[in-house]
């Protein structure tokens, strides 16, 4: 069966369950932390698939990845038990990503990513978040990243659109124009 179909089925079931219990916000935080854990530690996925590790240790590993030292919600525990009972640990990352997507749709939350060459202040971040929020009529989650390779300017991804005002991209465009112009001359 397709990974996307299975993960979306589990995510839909989880969000419907979370909405009935009123714990959708707590589950969103836990799924977001779990997703970040999968991104930061690619070996986590391999550890979950390891048949040598028993279920108790796998369960403890998932709980730690989702909440650190803090306790996880009862809804999350029940969900993880269901996933483990059905042997779907390998799809846990995709399930949590699908849950985040469904949660954002239900709560009208947009996502944005700001990439700059140098760190921006919290005040600038908040102003960007509020501006994007008022334009899109949705609450915004803004993630900022520092990438010195862009040499200056910024790259702003909001939902599925990208505004690239980086110096590196501008230099590439100028270089391409010079190359195109020189080809016509020769």
- Interval 23-28 mean pLDDT: 91
What are the CA-CA distances from residue 139 to residues 11, 27, 186 (Å)? 22, 18, 54
Q: What is the pLDDT of residue 186?
A: 59
Q: pLDDT category, 9, cuts 50, 70, 90?
A: very high
Assess contact for 72 and 27: CB atoms under 8 A: no
Set out the domains of the chain in order of their start, with CATH numbers: 3-105 (1.10.520), 110-185 (3.30.360)
Tell me the C-alpha distance between 60 and 66, whole Å.
10
Residue whose pair of structure tokens reads 């300017």 in the numeric block: 153
Is the pLDDT at 1 greater than 70? The verdict is: no
Calculate the average pLDDT of the chain. 88
Tell me the C-alpha distance between 170 and 4, whole Å.
37
Q: pLDDT category, 126, cuts 50, 70, 90?
A: very high
For 79-102, what is each residue's pLDDT tens digit? 998 988 898 888 899 999 999 999
For 103-120, what is each residue's pLDDT tens digit? 999 999 888 999 999 999
**161 pairs with which residues across the strands?**
158
For 36-55, what is each residue's pLDDT tens digit? 998 898 888 888 888 888 88
Q: What is the pLDDT of residue 166?
A: 92
Assess contact for 112 and 132: CB atoms under 8 A: yes
Q: What is the pTM of this model?
A: 0.78
- Interval 55-66 mean pLDDT: 86
Q: What is the pLDDT of residue 56?
A: 86
């Amino acid at each position: 069966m397709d990974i996307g179909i299975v993960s979306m089925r589990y995510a839909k079931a989880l969000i419907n369950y979370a909405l009935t219990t009123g714990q959708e916000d707590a589950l969103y935080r836990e799924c977001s932390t779990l997703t970040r854990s999968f991104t930061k530690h690619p070996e986590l996925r391999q550890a979950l698939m390891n048949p040598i590790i028993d279920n108790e240790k796998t369960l403890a590993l998932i709980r730690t990845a989702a909440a650190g030292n803090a306790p996880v919600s009862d809804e999350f525990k029940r969900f993880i038990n269901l996933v483990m009972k059905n042997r779907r640990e390998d799809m846990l990352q995709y399930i949590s990503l699908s849950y985040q997507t469904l949660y954002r749709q239900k709560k009208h939350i947009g996502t944005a990513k700001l990439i700059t060459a140098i760190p921006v202040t919290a005040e600038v971040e908040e102003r960007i978040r509020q501006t994007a929020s008022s334009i899109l009529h949705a609450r915004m989650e803004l993630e900022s990243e520092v990438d010195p390779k862009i040499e200056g300017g910024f790259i702003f991804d909001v939902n599925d659109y990208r505004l690239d005002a980086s110096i590196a991209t501008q230099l590439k465009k100028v270089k391409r124009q010079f190359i195109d112009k020189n080809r016509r001359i020769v």
